[in-house]
Every structure is written in C-alpha cells, then in structure tokens.
Amino acid sequence: MSSDLSGSVALVTGGSRGIGRAIALKLASRGAHVYVNYTSRPDAAEEVVAKCRELGGSADALGFDVSSSEAVDQAIDEIKKRSSKLDILVNNAGISRDGLFIRMKDDEWQQTLAINLTGAFNCSRAAARLMMKARYGRIINISSVVGEMGNAGQVPYVSSKAGLIGMTKAVARELASRNVTVNAVTPGFIETDMTHVLDEKVKEQTLANIPLGRFGQADEVAELVLFLSQKESSYITGQVIGVNGGMHM
C-alpha cells in the first residue's frame, strides 16, 4: 500500500517529544510538510524539525498553547498563509496530573482538561474550517487506553482522554459529508519520557496485564497514524483504534 504524503501539510501538536515526535518524523519521512507544535521547548521542537529534514522531509516549528482558542486560531491562520492548506491534524498534545481524586486540586483538573480535551477541540475547530472548504482532511486524536478502561490515580487524565473519544465520534459525524475523516488512536503503555518516570513496581504490574508481554514503542503508534493520514483510509471515520498489546480488547 502506498504511503506517499507528498504535497500534504500536517500539524502535530505536542510534536517535540515522545509519541508526537515519532508521528512528526513518520509523516515528514513520507513527504508531508509537518508543523511541529510546542509550548515550552523550542529547542526540542527545532531538533525534531532538523531530524525531519535529515529524513528527506520538510518541517517547521510552531509554538502556541493549544488551550488558548485565540492562539490556536492565529497558528492555523499562519499555516494558511505559509502553506495555503492543512490536510492532516494530529491532536497529540497532552499532560497528566496524577494522584487520588479526593486530593486533586481544582487547577490540576482544569489544566489537564484544558490541554488534553479543550486543546483538541480548539485545534479541530480551527483546522476544520480549512478542511471543509477544501473538502478533504484527516483529523487524528491521540487518546489513551485508559480512556476506554479507566485507571486509578488518573481521574483528570482518564476523563480528558475519554472525552476525546466522544468528541471524535461526534465530530466525525459532522464532517463526514465534507470528506473529512476523524479517528482516535488509543495507545497503551508506550515507552516515552512520560512513562519513564513511573515507579518500577507500577511498570511491572502494568506489564503483567499486557498479553503481548512488552511495552509499546512510539513508532508503532506513528505507523497507525500514518495509515489514517493517507487517502487510502478514506472509508474509516469515527473509529477508536487501540495500539496496546492486547491490554484492552
């Protein structure tokens, strides 16, 4: 199957590290011009841009806060000015504020939802205006396996990721008539900076619940995102697809 994205323009939020970085590199390596979004690490974003170019692709770093609708609108306008269009949006930006929910502070709850869920809403709404006019687009939301099955100690994160699944299905129905597909990817335990800081006992317990017996790699998530970004995925929309080693079936 072809995976040529030549001429396509993509935006990957939270693209400076982890899963977002892997997605940005994958799309760029297949010919897409990738805008690598970041909030606080311009150096990391520029490193991804340089790597994209090493792989033969093209990319630019674009700093903005996804939780600000004004900042998002300005960023999408900038993409329109530079590239005239936006074919692919990957809503990957996310944070986690963990702890028992009875001790969770209001701002920890609000900040998590603002970035993980409202951020995806802001970006999707702004991008959809371009995609609907072009009558083509791919929106891919990076949710999480815990958004499907729940997880103790992560109430804000789980809630935001579950909300992202619902948003995926609703937006998919609204945009289908304009040939814009919207899907969600739910990674399981993927080896990234976010998971490296977890206690070893937690990692061991998690591994015991993964039928394939190993943790996933960011590139394995990126491969699925690549497929959903292509024209060949045109009959897939409103779907939630797991990359979790069988952790949730």
Looking at the DSSP bridge assignments, the partners of residue 15 are none
Contacts of 182 by beta carbon, 8 Å cutoff, 6+ apart? 124, 139, 140, 141, 168, 171, 172, 175, 237, 238
Q: Distance of alpha carbon 32 from its chain centroid, rounded?
A: 16
From 38, 136, 157, 235, the catalytic residue: 157
Q: How far is CA 221 from the centre of its chain?
A: 10
235 is catalytic: no
Give the torsion sign (CA, 143, 147, 148, 151).
Answer: positive
Residues 6 or more apart in contact with residue 187 via CB below 8 angstroms: 19, 142, 144, 145, 216, 221, 242, 243, 244
Active centre residues (catalytic): 157
